[in-house]
Amino acid sequence: MNFGKVAVLFGGASAEREVSLMSGSGVLKALQSRGVDAHAFDPAQRDLSELKRDGFARCFIALHGRFGEDGTVQGALELLGIPYTGSGVMASSIAMDKVMTKRVWLAEGLPTPNYRLLRRGDYDRKKVVGIPDELGLPVIVKPVREGSSIGVMKVQGYSGMVDAVEQASKLDADVLCEQFIAGDEVTCPVMGSGESARALPVIRIVAPDGNYDYQNKYFGNDTKYVLPCGLPSGEEAAIQEIALKAYRVLDCRGWGRIDVMIDASTRKPYLLEINTSPGMTSHSLVPMSARAAGMSYEELCVHILSTATLEHAKS
């Protein structure tokens, strides 16, 4: 396809800038290797209006987190009339907010761990310390609108709750306290839109001490990625089915990745969150799963670029 002049948006101003720089550099190199007229564009250093001025025909969004994955950049590109990869404004905005995502999934009958939302200024020490009485221990504490496991803490006892909430609140006004599900941690990439969307192979993640944090995600070499996932017969298909439902009910498009925990005792899957602009680094999971499905990194990047569109174009 003749894509015209393509901007690869990466870097940005979020807490995930470092990861985005790695993702975008890989995407840029891959597209250029396939003859695409692709150029780097960092929204933290250039105004988005320059995309129109400089004649860019479409954008590959390799931004992560706020101001890139949350509907803000998507809205700007809609106004500029420049097609972009990934989900539209509303789906991106909802997916970036872990609590709003949970509310939609629960309304649609999809399983996700129990939770409590703490809004800054609307909770005190007594309320925070009492959360394990509702959710049990351990408790997962995380900022509502951050990715890459930034600010996420696993609290083992009552005494750790205040510090965990305090740390998370430095990154977001709202803090999510979530029931911990002990068992297999898996992820499932999805490609496409609507009923034509399809799930890629499931990856089982085995992190050191079960701690799949920022360091183990992107920089360490101790995390094991099991692919084929090795789940019991029928479980991978069930995970793919629930991932597709979770993706579709949010009206996601293009591509995404759904993270799931499988309860060790009941084998019931619980949806954790969805990523609408997943990582594309050397440690990233979507390229890994796509490769298992027979698609190279370069082919994956070109395919994602080919799905770039505007929200109104869907109708």
pLDDT of residue 122: 79
Low-confidence ranges of the chain (pLDDT < 50): 315
pLDDT of residue 207: 82
What values do phi and psi take at 31, rounded to 5? -65, -45
Which structural domain, as residue segments, surrounds residue 141? 115-179
The residues assigned a catalytic role are 16, 148, 218, 257, 259, 273, 275, 279
- CATH code of the domain in which 158 resides: 3.30.1490.20
Measuring CA to CA, how many Å separate 222 from each of 49, 229, 281?
42, 17, 16
SS3 190: strand
Q: In terms of Cα–Cα distance, which of 62, 52, 56, 6 is closest to 31?
A: 6
- Domain co-membership, 175 together with 186: no
Structure tokens at 43: 């929204």
pLDDT of residue 217: 55
pLDDT of residue 315: 44
Average pLDDT, the chain: 93
d(C-alpha 94, C-alpha 35), whole Å: 35
φ/ψ region of 162 (left if φ > 0, alpha if ψ in -120 to 50, else beta) reads: alpha
pLDDT per residue as tens digits for the range 74-96: 999 999 999 999 999 999 999 99
d(C-alpha 106, C-alpha 53), whole Å: 43
- Domain co-membership, 120 together with 105: no
pLDDT of residue 37: 98
pLDDT of residue 213: 55
pLDDT of residue 211: 61
- Domain co-membership, 269 together with 156: no
First to last CA, the chain: 23
pLDDT per residue as tens digits for the range 256-299: 999 999 999 999 999 999 999 999 988 899 999 999 999 999 99
Percent of the chain as helix, strand, coil, to the nearest 5: 40, 20, 40
Q: What's the total number of domains in the chain?
A: 3
Q: Where are the alpha helices (DSSP H) in 212-263?
A: 214-218, 235-249
